[in-house]
């Protein structure tokens, strides 16, 4: 055995941790002194690392071949599939948001809410003739003294259509919805009388709202449809499709 | 039907470190992570074959790091494997000259699970070269080296399988084979450098 082979065996035994203490310290002494010996040790160490890596790779490869049969193939996502997936995700998200909003609105919808969001106090000035004297009922309405107005309405033997409308509005403001409905209906029955036509559009509108508040949805819808379908009706703009849908939803609940 | 064993991160790492139940652990890694890691490669310009090759190398590198106590457990096994896979694939794309600008941008904003861990991922050519070199040793050398250094079988055990005269003959043969492999590696500077990186981390 030549010196080179003997050194290789010694270095391999050193790597394998098989040297006796004396042999080990002697070799370490020589390693300090010889760059060539250090280089050979490094090469053998790399060779050992290569064997370990090879063994591990081979074992993983063997399991890999077994697993290929077990695992389903991963489908590559094409650009079209990606686009379709993202579009579907966006559409689904929007649908969830829409359903959520509709659900929330449906859940929180109430006759009081629909009424409150559509009711605005009637402006008396719009029906007064310039220069005409104010009646006690008109004065009470302008002063928003609705109790006084209702009392005055009871005392008055014959109310003009305009005064009767104000009495109905006073009951509405006082939240006496049944009484308001009665007054509005009396006024509707006087449709042929002089002056009644002038207050009929507002009568229909406010009666419809009071019907909603009083949960008389069919009667409310009849009036609302009439106003909504007639573009020349003075209250046409106030009766939106949304309002009609809300009343229908209230009816379904 | 045989029940499929699953492992917690701690069990997996402990088994891999000790070399016990290796096939079961490697199988569990495949079941848990192969689909998602392959999906990443295949949706970033890679083929099915690329994904399989890289996954094998990711598993090899991970086990190697665990056995060298270089997996510190700062991140989960999942995060660590994803990191190895991503870096390995980005390096492969760069090597092919097809680096994705978007990916590079993404890369800059990412915190690495283990900086430098991607150095353990060897390229396909180098892996093939290693197989080729060990193949050149001949079947007996290959068996002795793998049994002793990877499977950690004793010389006495190897002697029984190979029918040599005595243990010393097996030892001499082993030294000779290792020396032969060292010479072959010295003739392949790229592979030698990769092995140095793996060894010295």
ipTM: 0.86
Are B76 and B115 part of one and the same domain? yes
The reply to whether residue B146 touches residue A44, judged by beta carbons under 8 angstroms, is no
B188, part of any domain:
yes
In Å, what is the CA distance from A116 to each residue of A64, A104, A109, A120? 70, 18, 12, 8
- Domain, as residue range, for A51: 3-70
Asked if residue B130 lies in contact with residue B112, where contact means CB atoms within 8 angstroms, the answer is no
Choose from A2, A40, A63 for mutation: most chain B CBs within 10 A.
A63
The reply to whether residue A56 touches residue B171, judged by beta carbons under 8 angstroms, is no
Residue B2 has pLDDT above 70, yes or no: no
* Residue from the list B31, B63, B186 with its beta carbon closest to the beta carbon of A56: B63
Count structural domains, chain B. Answer: 2
Which chain A positions have a beta carbon within 8 Å of B23's beta carbon?
A: 59, 62-63
pLDDT tens for A49-99 read 999 999 999 999 999 998 887 776 655 567 777 788 888 999 999 999 999
Are B46 and B140 part of one and the same domain? no
pLDDT tens for A150-206 read 998 888 778 889 899 999 999 999 999 999 999 999 989 887 787 888 889 999 999
Distance from CA of A55 to the nearest CA of B (A): 6
- Domain, as residue range, for B53: 9-121
Per the rule left: phi > 0, alpha: psi between -120 and 50, beta: everything else, A144 is left
Residue with tokens 């070399």: B19
- Band of the pLDDT at B5, cuts 50, 70, 90? low
- The answer to whether B192 contacts chain A (CB < 8 Å) is yes
Are A196 and A245 part of one and the same domain? yes
Residues 6 or more apart whose Cβ sits within 8 Å of residue B15: B7, B21, B22, B24, B25
Between A93-107, A174-188, B55-69, the lowest mean confidence (pLDDT) is in: A93-107
Number of neighbouring beta carbons within 10 Å of residue B129: 18
In Å, what is the CA distance from B11 to each residue of A227, A230, A234, B76? 76, 78, 80, 12
Are B95 and B193 part of one and the same domain? no
Residue A127 has pLDDT above 80, yes or no: no
Are B115 and B169 part of one and the same domain? no
B129 vs B99, higher pLDDT: B129
Are A150 and A240 part of one and the same domain? yes
Are B117 and B132 part of one and the same domain? no
Count structural domains, chain A. Answer: 3
Chain B residues 2-21 with CB within 8 Å of chain A = none
* Residue from the list A52, A57, A67 with its beta carbon closest to the beta carbon of B27: A67
Last residue of a domain, one of B65, B89, B121: B121
Distance from CA of B16 to the nearest CA of A (A): 11
Between A148-162, B23-37, B116-130, B148-162, the lowest mean confidence (pLDDT) is in: B116-130
Q: Rounded distance, CA A32 to CA A41, Å?
A: 12
Choose from A53, A77, A82 for mutation: most chain B CBs within 10 A.
A53
């Amino acid at each position: 055995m030549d010196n080179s082979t003997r050194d290789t065996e010694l270095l391999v035994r050193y790597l394998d941790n098989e040297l006796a203490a004396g042999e080990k310290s002697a070799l370490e002494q020589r390693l300090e002194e010889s760059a060539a010996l250090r280089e050979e040790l490094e090469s053998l160490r790399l060779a050992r690392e290569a064997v370990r890596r090879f063994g591990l790779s081979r074992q993983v490869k063997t399991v890999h071949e077994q697993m290929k049969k077990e695992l389903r193939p991963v489908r590559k996502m094409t650009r079209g599939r990606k686009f379709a997936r993202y579009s579907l995700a966006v559409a689904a998200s929007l649908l969830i948001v829409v359903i959520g909003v509709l659900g929330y609105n449906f859940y929180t919808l109430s006759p009081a809410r629909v009424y409150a969001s559509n009711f605005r106090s009637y402006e008396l000035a719009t029906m007064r003739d310039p220069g005409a004297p104010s009646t006690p009922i008109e004065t009470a309405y302008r002063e928003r003294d609705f109790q006084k107005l209702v009392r005055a309405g009871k005392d008055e033997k014959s109310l003009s259509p305009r005064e009767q409308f104000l009495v109905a509005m006073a009951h509405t403001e006082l939240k006496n919805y049944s009484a308001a409905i009665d007054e509005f209906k009396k006024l509707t029955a006087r449709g042929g009388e002089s002056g009644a036509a002038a207050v009929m559009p507002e009568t229909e509108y406010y009666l419809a709202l009071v019907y909603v508040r009083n949960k008389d949805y069919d009667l409310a819808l009849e009036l609302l449809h009439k106003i909504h379908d007639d573009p020349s009706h003075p209250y046409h703009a106030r009766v939106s499709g949304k309002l009609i849908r809300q009343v229908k939803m209230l009816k379904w609940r | 039907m045989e029940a499929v064993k699953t492992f917690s991160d701690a069990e997996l790492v402990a088994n891999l470190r000790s070399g016990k139940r290796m096939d079961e652990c490697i199988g569990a890694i495949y079941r848990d992570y192969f689909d998602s890691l392959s999906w990443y490669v295949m949706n970033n310009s890679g083929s099915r074959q690329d994904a399989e090759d890289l996954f094998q190398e990711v598993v090899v590198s991970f086990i190697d790091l665990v056995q060298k106590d270089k997996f510190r457990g700062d991140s989960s096994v999942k995060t660590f494997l994803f990191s190895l896979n991503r870096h390995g694939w980005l390096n492969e794309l760069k090597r092919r000259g097809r680096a994705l600008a978007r990916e590079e941008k993404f890369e800059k904003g990412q915190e690495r699970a283990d900086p430098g861990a991607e150095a353990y991922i060897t390229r396909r050519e180098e892996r093939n070269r290693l197989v080729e070199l060990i193949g050149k040793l001949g079947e007996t050398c290959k068996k002795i080296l793998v049994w002793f250094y990877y499977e950690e079988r004793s010389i006495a055990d190897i002697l029984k399988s190979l029918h040599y005269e005595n243990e010393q003959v097996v030892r001499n043969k082993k030294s000779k084979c290792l020396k032969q492999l060292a010479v072959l590696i010295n003739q392949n500077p790229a592979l030698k450098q990769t092995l140095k990186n793996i060894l010295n981390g």
